Amino acid sequence: LSAPTLVASEDSRLQRRARLRDVLEERALGGLLSVHAPNIRYLSGFSGSSGLLVVSEHAADLFTDSRYEEQAAEELDSGVELHVVRDGLFSALGEVAERWRGGAPIGLETAHLTVRDGVRVREAASDLEWSETEGIVEALRARKDAGEIETIGRAGALACAALEQTLGLVREGMTELEITAELEYRLRLAGSEGPAFESIVAAGPRSALPHARPGPRPLREGDLLLLDFGAVVEGYRSDVTRTVVAGRPADWQTAIHSAVLAAHDAAVAVAAAGVLARDVDRTARERLVETGYGEYFGHSTGHGLGLEVHEGPSLSHRSGATLEPGNVVTIEPGVYLPGRGGVRLEDDLAIGEGDARLLTEFPLALREI
Ligand code: ZN
Ligand code: ZN
């Protein structure tokens, strides 16, 4: 692996806040109150779990409690003012509200604000005008800069390395939980900050459950084994799925694996800047319909990936998004035969100006273990 680069430099965060201020101006907002930890981390560098961030025209204020005083001081750049709050983050808003007063309304992240906290905001600064917004920072986050893409690539490489080591250890008789433990242990040893999400390790007929939770079932000869997991580097996630077979594959297993692989490759080939996200989904889906498995592919073809494992743009038939340079998306078609087993193949793809680059490189052929 290459040497780490500084992903979230002060410069990149300054640029993000400048882009946010442009959007706020377009929407006639005087600022935005962010309550969502990944948005706060993206804009300010602060990675704690308890925080509020207000980005206004001329200032950025971060509120946290005393547990995070040192961490926040270390992580925040000089453009963000730190407020360490003694009683309740929301009540402290009122003390600083003076600097936002008299301007345009302040946006609230309604997708992340509880009803109770919405009341607290309005009580703390009752003479300010608040406006409900949705997805403003998420839209900025969907276009990654080069440092972010490199970091997701590192998370992809860690995931692939841990998978290679784990598959070398898997034996018949091991339970899904034991295989999960090996996988997550290897991820940590390789340098992952944790699992990117609850890992899915599903053996035999359970591989037909797209979101199976690992359990005590042992791996048996002839089983498909589906592993869907990821690594975390500086908060950025990878998300990879491979499906292998214990012993020699049956014809039906080879058939669904080839069908999914064809759908995967077709979707990867079509995904590029300027392409509608729903057309990438349609490409994978049509390929599965052609091979007779269309009805066994229920979920969407992919999703954006970054500080969260599911973010924009969504590669679903309902998506109105057009792929843009800087998007990082998964491509993950699957076929699930109830009671028998399923195959999913998932890779992470960075959309460039004229090309797209795989951030996860692991052989796609059906592997016998
Ligand atoms: Zn996944
Ligand atoms: Zn995924």
Q: What pLDDT, on the 0 to 100 scale, is given for residue 178?
A: 98
Predicted structure pTM score? 0.94
Q: Are 288 and 297 in contact (CB under 8 A)?
A: yes
What is the whole-number distance in angstroms between the Cα of residue 272 and the centre of ligand 1? 21
At residue 329, the 3 state secondary structure works out as: strand
Judging by beta carbons within 10 Å of its beta carbon (0-12, 13-18, 19+), is residue 367 exposed, middle or buried? middle
Q: What is the mean pLDDT of the chain?
A: 94
What is the whole-number distance in angstroms between the Cα of residue 214 and the centre of ligand 1? 14
Judging by beta carbons within 10 Å of its beta carbon (0-12, 13-18, 19+), is residue 1 exposed, middle or buried? exposed
Q: What pLDDT, on the 0 to 100 scale, is given for residue 1?
A: 44
What is the whole-number distance in angstroms between the Cα of residue 42 and the centre of ligand 2? 21
The edge-to-edge listing of strands for the beta sheet with 302-304 is 311-315, 302-304, 328-331, 347-351, 356-358
Q: Express each pLDDT in 304-317 by its tens digit.
A: 999 999 999 999 99
**pLDDT of 3 above 70:** no
CA 285 vs CA 213, 260, 265: distances in Å: 25, 10, 12
Tokens of 168: 């070398």
Ligand showing the shortest atom-to-Cα distance for residue 242: 1
What is the whole-number distance in angstroms between the Cα of residue 238 and the centre of ligand 2? 9
Q: What pLDDT, on the 0 to 100 scale, is given for residue 5?
A: 47
Q: Express each pLDDT in 38-81 by its tens digit.
A: 999 999 999 999 999 999 988 999 999 999 999 999 999 889 99
What CA–CA distance (Å, rounded) separates 2 from 8?
17
Measured between alpha carbons, how far apart are the two ends of the chain, in Å? 26
CA 257 vs CA 78, 170, 177: distances in Å: 52, 20, 24
Q: Express each pLDDT in 117-134 by its tens digit.
A: 999 999 998 888 999 999
**pLDDT of 7 above 70:** no
Give the residue-averaged pLDDT of 228-252. 98
Ligand showing the shortest atom-to-Cα distance for residue 211: 1
Q: How confident is the model at residue 8 (pLDDT cuts 50, 70, 90)?
A: low
